[in-house]
A and B are shown apart, each in its own frame.
Chain A
Amino acid sequence: MIEAKDVSLTYQDGTQALKDVNLRIKAGEIIYITGPSGSGKTSLLKLILGMEYPTEGHLRVMGQSMVKDEEDNIRKLRRKIGPVFQEFKLIRGRTAFENIVLGMRFLDFTPKEIIENSYMALERVGLKHKRDSLVDKLSWGESQRVAIARAIARKPSLILADEPTGNLDLDNALNIMDILTSLRDENTTVIITTHATHLIEDKEEGTFIRIQEGRLKMERRGVEAYE
């Protein structure tokens, strides 16, 4: 699914976000990435989504080489990914439902499937009653859940969730974690970054990556650890 070999990322202002990252993630895995603010968590997700390109090393996502020359193919690759952005990136002036539908219109779904998936996703994040609310009017936590609903409605092969629980209370945060981890059962690879380590420390399965100053430390728990 994802293969990184000696990947480094240095921004134009000279900041080194990631250094010599080596990573191999298989389909259906769940990965929790933790680390302090500015450690490189978001940068790693940006590389995987093709928002940034490695300045050194090689990165492949679902067989796609992540280099600038492959921009068109990377755009196509994104259709198989469900991103949940830290700042949500919801489209203002549209309802929660319209935001979810808009993320699927150009995918291989029929109109009926688009509508059904959107309803189901809203229901899954507990926002069915807010379907016709403008996203501008939603609370921070509700907006975050709409962003998650948009990602899961797309039925992607890979979910990239950047701090998906950052603005939620504990109950909602645990609920969202459960939703995201349950996607594993649908053979979706899920990568979650979080600084809330208390939400994942008792997880028995998954790959746990700690990023510190751009370098990775990996630990595998549960079934994957023995493969």
Chain B
Amino acid sequence: MNKRAYNLAYFLKESKTLFKIDFLSNIFSIISIGLILFILSLVLLGWRVSSYVIQIVEREGEINVYYDLSLQEKDINYLMEDIEKIEGVSSTSLVSQDEAYNRMAEILGKEAGILELFDENPFTPFIEVKIHIEEVDSILDELESMLGIDYIRDNKNIIDRLQNILIILKVLGVLALVAIGVSTLIVVSHIIRQGIYNNRDQINTLELLGAPDIFIGFPFILEGVFLTLLGGVIAFILLKLVLGLGYSKLFTALPFLPLPAEESLLIPIGIFILLLSGLLGIIGSLFGLAKDNEKA
């Protein structure tokens, strides 16, 4: 048998022994780390969903132009031609009063019956203008100077708000990442130090026999990685549950909300959380071991 494989079996067995020695404390640590990482995954989830929504809204950037209802069909066509000439406008289309009604009925779905309360169609026709969202300000300036336009409805406000939310989520995400990183490192290094304390006689004997630090410390590193990885798995399972539940509720309540596919959120966030948990386990263990060496 290869020497490394021979020793790896020993390291695994040792880390299992270390885990058993402080069993309850380790179980609580795994749960704490799992919950901490779950909070991080929720922040990441919010971050990714809002980024996605903004992307969709930006990609589907459009402005609704409500024209003077006294305009004749010929004037409306002229107006559409003029609008299409504006830089940043990709196309225009006329949405009739009936189509506007049908669209709303489609959005409302089961609740569309509410529209029947109206004696007449309450919607007005409008021109739907597809635009490049980055040109929205100059397009709005040009439209406002045109004649025959009563009102312009743009979703700039919504995009601005979403972008503000995204900035807040990004800041929160970074803060959460730092806070979670530090707290996980503290938990892991404390556990490792506890393990070192419990095994100080064994460590001392191995030092006197000439064992190198890496040989003595490796089982502790494995234990740390094991703790955080299990925490990561708990966070992943909780995320999957919450995502599944949240999505089914959201789709029922807000069917028109553009949300990314569940897997496209779960898999990258899950992988990130697991990798991060492993990394934090290694760093936390090394930190615990380094503090012990300093003390020695």
Contact = CB atoms under 8 A, between A and B. Distances in A.
Interface of A: 49, 51, 75-81, 83, 85, 89-93, 102-103, 105-107, 110-112, 114, 154
Contacts of B210: 75-81, 106-107
Interface stretch (B34-42, B199-207, B277-285): B199-207
Interface string B144-184: 00000000000000000000000000000000000000000
Contacts of A79: 209-210
Given A78-B210, A103-B209, 18 more contacts: A49-B208, A51-B208, A75-B210, A75-B212, A78-B207, A78-B208, A79-B210, A80-B210, A91-B201, A91-B202, A91-B205, A102-B10, A105-B7, A106-B210, A107-B210, A110-B3, A111-B3, A114-B6
A83 B208 contact: yes
B17 interface: yes
Interface in B1-54: 1-3, 6-7, 10, 17
A132 B178 CA distance: 49
A105 B13 CA distance: 14
A80 B210 CA distance: 8
Contacts of A105: 6-7, 10, 211, 215
Main secondary structure of the interface of A (DSSP, over half): loop
Contacts of B202: 91-92
Contacts of A91: 201-202, 205
A85 B206 CA distance: 13
When A and B form their complex, which 6 residue pairs have the shortest distance between CB atoms, in order from nearest? A78-B210, A79-B210, A111-B6, A89-B205, A106-B215, A111-B1
Contact of B17 (A93, A107, A154): A93
Interface of B: 1-3, 6-7, 10, 17, 201-202, 204-212, 215
Nearest to A91: B202
Contacts of A49: 208
A165 to B, nearest CB: 21
Nearest to A93: B17
A92 B204 CA distance: 13
Contacts of B201: 89, 91-92
A80 to B, nearest CB: 8
A78 B209 contact: yes
B229 to A, nearest CB: 25
23 contacts: A49-B208, A75-B211, A76-B210, A78-B209, A80-B210, A85-B208, A90-B205, A91-B201, A91-B205, A92-B202, A93-B17, A105-B6, A105-B10, A105-B215, A106-B210, A106-B211, A106-B215, A110-B3, A111-B3, A111-B6, A112-B1, A114-B6, A154-B209
Contact of B212 (A89, A106, A154): A106
B170 to A, nearest CB: 45
By CB atoms of chain B within 10 A, which of A75, A79, A85, A114 has the most? A75
Contacts of A102: 10, 206
B198 to A, nearest CB: 11
B248 to A, nearest CB: 50
Contacts of B206: 102
Contacts of A81: 210
Contacts of B7: 105
A89 to B, nearest CB: 4
A206 to B, nearest CB: 25
A154 B204 CA distance: 18
Contacts of B211: 75, 105-106
